[in-house]
Amino acid sequence: MAVDQLSRTFAALADPTRRALLDRLAEGDATVNELAAPFELSLQAVSKHLKVLEDAGLVSKGRDAQRRPCQLEPAALETAADWLDAHRQGWEDRLDRLGDHLRRLQRTRTDNDNDNDTHKKDSQQ
C-alpha cells in the first residue's frame, strides 16, 4: 500500500525524539553530531531518525564545505497544519454538540431528581 506524504509527515511527528530533532532544527541548521549531542543515542540511531524526517520532507541535508548540515523544511509542516486547520472546525462543532447534549442530559437528570424528591416529600406527609 502506498503511503501518502501527509501520512509520512504524521508518522514522522509521532516519535518524540524526531519532534525534539525538529525543535532543535527550528533554531538553525545543525550537523548529525550536533543533533545527537543532547541524546543518549548512537549517531546511527540519530541518522535513522533523520532519514525518517527526510523521507517525510521535514528535513533536508545540505553541503557546506566539509559539513553536511541538516535543515528544517517547513513546507511539510505547513501542509500538516493546513490539513489540521481544515478539519478543526468540524471537530470543534462536534465537541460543541456533545457538550450541549451532555448539558441537556444533566438538566434532565437534575429535573428528574428534583421530581423524585418532591414525590418522596408528598408521600411522607
Q: Does 60 lie in the same domain as 17?
A: yes
pLDDT of residue 1: 41
Tell me what pLDDT residue 65 has. Answer: 72
The greatest distance separating any two alpha carbons of the chain, rounded to the nearest whole angstrom, comes to: 95
In a domain, 77, yes or no: no
Which residue bears the cell 411522607? 124
* Shared domain check, 67 and 21: yes
In this structure, are 38 and 95 located in the same domain?
A: no
Same structural domain for residues 21 and 54?
Answer: yes
Q: Is the whole-model pTM more than 0.95?
A: no
Domain membership of residue 98 (yes or no) is: yes
Calpha distance 101→78 (Å, rounded): 35
For residue 118, the model assigns a pLDDT of 64
Q: Which amino acid is at 123?
A: S
CATH code of residue 29: 1.10.10.10
Residues 42, 9 within the same domain: yes
Range of the domain at 16: 5-72
Structure-block grid coordinates of residue 7: 501520512
Residues 28 and 65 in one domain: yes
80 located within any domain: no
23 lies in the same domain as 56: yes
Question: pLDDT tens-digit profile of 88-125?
Answer: 989 999 999 999 999 999 988 887 777 776 666 666 66
The verdict on 61 and 39 lying in the same domain is yes
Residue % of the chain over a pLDDT of 70: 90
Burial letters for 31-68: b for 16+ Cβ neighbours within 10 Å, e otherwise? Answer: ebeebbeeeeeeeeebeebbebbbebbbbeeeeeeeee
- In tens, the pLDDT along 69-95 reads 999 999 989 989 999 998 998 999 999
The predicted pLDDT at position 122 comes to: 63
Mean per-residue pLDDT, 43-56: 95
Average pLDDT over the chain reads: 88
Q: Domain check: are 66 and 96 in the same one? A: no
Domain count for the chain: 2
